[in-house]
Amino acid sequence: MTLLKTENLTKMFGHFKAVDEINIDVKEGEVYGFIGPNGAGKSTTIRVLLGMLKATSGHASIFGKDVWKDAVDIHKRIAYVPGDVNLWPNLTGGEVIDLFMKLRGGSVNKQKREELIQKFSFDPSKKCRTYSKGNRQKVSLIAAFVSDVDLYILDEPTSGLDPLMERTFQECVMKAKVEGKSILLSSHILSEVERLCDCVGIIRDGKIIESGSMDELRHLTRTNLKVETKQPITALDEMTGIHNVERKEHMLSLQVDTENLDDVIRHISQFGVAKLESAPPTLEDLFMRHYEGDGGES
Ligand SMILES: Nc1ncnc2c1ncn2[C@@H]1O[C@H](COP(=O)(O)OP(=O)(O)OP(=O)(O)O)[C@@H](O)[C@H]1O
Ligand SMILES: [Mg+2]
């Protein structure tokens, strides 16, 4: 079942198109990774989804309801974590967590609250004005994950968290997923997206330029090969799907488009393979290819 859907969603700021006819689909129990460079339009899309900005054209719905008109209903069932959390300076972290929980209308689940505070090694007794960026982020994350909502909208939620806390965050996402919750996660940490997300949408200049399941996207990527052969390899340059060939002493390193892997391996094997290492394609490779230069071939 689709929980969140945008259809040709567009947002203009004056003449500037920050979000350009994007289509996103987040299904029940799915973690959707929303990635793209600075200024691509991720936060603008998310603000439209939260009903904080009105779409210029197109449509966006959550739980089948209109994000602009039905914001009150929708917000009872979602939790939002921004990348830069502003808090009430004179309340303690604990008070703010409780406040968020009450605003969402649920009863305070003390046990879950304590567990999360422990997991994030957070001291809830201090006034918010004294918290560092990472600690403000923790307030917002604890308040989100303590809530029993159906959809989490997280816009670079781990900015400022140290690696240990980043891991705690990932555990929380995986737990929410196991419980059947859905998550829209915008992130610059590609390893995080790769680990957590079922589906990914890559946005650039307001347009979704690539989207699909992690498996589908992997097909678009390249496998890194390192190979040593008994005889020198010839005629490699004439093959299709080969990139970044480098020779170092006896080793040859190259990248191969996944669809051409079979042909390339067969070709190489004629020269007597002495050593072969392959590294799986990563989301980072794909991402970089889209962002380097004009996003064209390397
Ligand atoms: N209120 C606004 N008025 C005018 N332009 C805006 C406004 N908000 C955002 N923009 C522009 O829209 C574009 C998209 O911004 P957005 O904040 O959505 O990017 P982002 O993908 O979240 O980037 P980042 O990774 O840096 O958070 C940017 O060019 C930005 O300058
Ligand atoms: Mg942003």
Whether ligand 1 lies within 6 angstroms of the CB of 187 is answered as no
Residues 24 and 89 both lie in one domain: yes
Can you tell me the distance from the alpha carbon of 297 to that of 253, in angstroms, rounded to the nearest whole number? 18
Domain count, the chain: 2
Question: Of 183, 211, 239, at which residue does a domain stop?
Answer: 211
**What angle, 0 to 180 degrees and rounded to 10, lies between the N-to-C axes of helices 133-146 and 163-178?**
10
Specify the pLDDT at position 247: 87
Task: Enumerate residues 6+ apart whose C-beta is below 8 A from 135.
Answer: 93, 122, 123
Range of the domain at 45: 2-211
Can you tell me the distance from the alpha carbon of 84 to that of 181, in angstroms, rounded to the nearest whole number? 24
Task: Say how many Å lie between the CA of residue 281 and the centre of ligand 1.
Answer: 30
Please indicate, yes or no, if residue 176 is contained in any of the structural domains: yes
Can you tell me the distance from the alpha carbon of 96 to that of 101, in angstroms, rounded to the nearest whole number? 9
Least confident among 112-121, 134-143, 254-263, 280-289: 280-289
Cβ(173)–Cβ(196) below 8 Å: yes
Whether ligand 1 lies within 6 angstroms of the CB of 201 is answered as no
Residues 57 and 128 both lie in one domain: yes
Supply the CATH number for residue 108's domain: 3.40.50.300
- Give the pLDDT band of residue 264 (cuts 50, 70, 90): very high
* Long-range CB contacts for residues 137-140, cutoff 8 Å, separation at least 24: 137/81, 137/85, 137/161, 138/93, 138/165, 139/85, 139/87, 139/93, 139/96, 139/97, 140/81, 140/82, 140/85, 140/87, 140/100
Supply the CATH number for residue 267's domain: 3.30.70.260
Q: Is the pLDDT of residue 90 over 60?
A: yes
Residues 194 and 274 both lie in one domain: no
Residues 84 and 198 both lie in one domain: yes
Model confidence, pTM: 0.85
pLDDT tens for residues 173-186? 999 999 999 999 99
Q: Whose CA is nearest to atom 12 of ligand 1?
A: 18
Q: Whose CA is nearest to atom 24 of ligand 1?
A: 38
Whether ligand 1 lies within 6 angstroms of the CB of 82 is answered as no
Whether ligand 1 lies within 6 angstroms of the CB of 11 is answered as no
Mean pLDDT throughout 222-241?
89
Residues 103 and 246 both lie in one domain: no
Strand duo 251-257 + 242-248: pairing: antiparallel
Residues 31 and 161 both lie in one domain: yes
Q: What Cα–Cα distance (Å) separates residue 90 from each residue in 133, 284, 286?
A: 16, 41, 45
Can you tell me the distance from the alpha carbon of 62 to that of 49, in angstroms, rounded to the nearest whole number? 8
Cβ(204)–Cβ(37) below 8 Å: yes
Residues 156 and 247 both lie in one domain: no
Question: Of 158, 185, 211, at which residue does a domain stop?
Answer: 211
Least confident among 58-62, 227-231, 232-236: 232-236
Please indicate, yes or no, if residue 287 is contained in any of the structural domains: no
- Give the pLDDT band of residue 106 (cuts 50, 70, 90): low
Residue to probe by mutation, ligand 1, list 42, 154, 188, most atoms within 8 Å of CB: 42
- Give the pLDDT band of residue 214 (cuts 50, 70, 90): confident
Whether ligand 1 lies within 6 angstroms of the CB of 18 is answered as yes
Whether ligand 1 lies within 6 angstroms of the CB of 40 is answered as yes
Residues 183 and 81 both lie in one domain: yes
Six token digits for residue 112? 């879950």
- Give the pLDDT band of residue 236 (cuts 50, 70, 90): confident
pLDDT tens for residues 271-298? 999 999 998 777 887 777 776 655 444 3
Residues 130 and 253 both lie in one domain: no
Ligand nearest to the CA of 206: 1
Residues 96 and 170 both lie in one domain: yes
User: Could you identify the atom of ligand 1 that is nearest to the CA of residue 14?
Assistant: 4
Q: Helical H runs in 85-208?
A: 93-103, 110-119, 133-146, 163-178, 190-196
Return the amino acid letter for 297: E
- Give the pLDDT band of residue 248 (cuts 50, 70, 90): confident
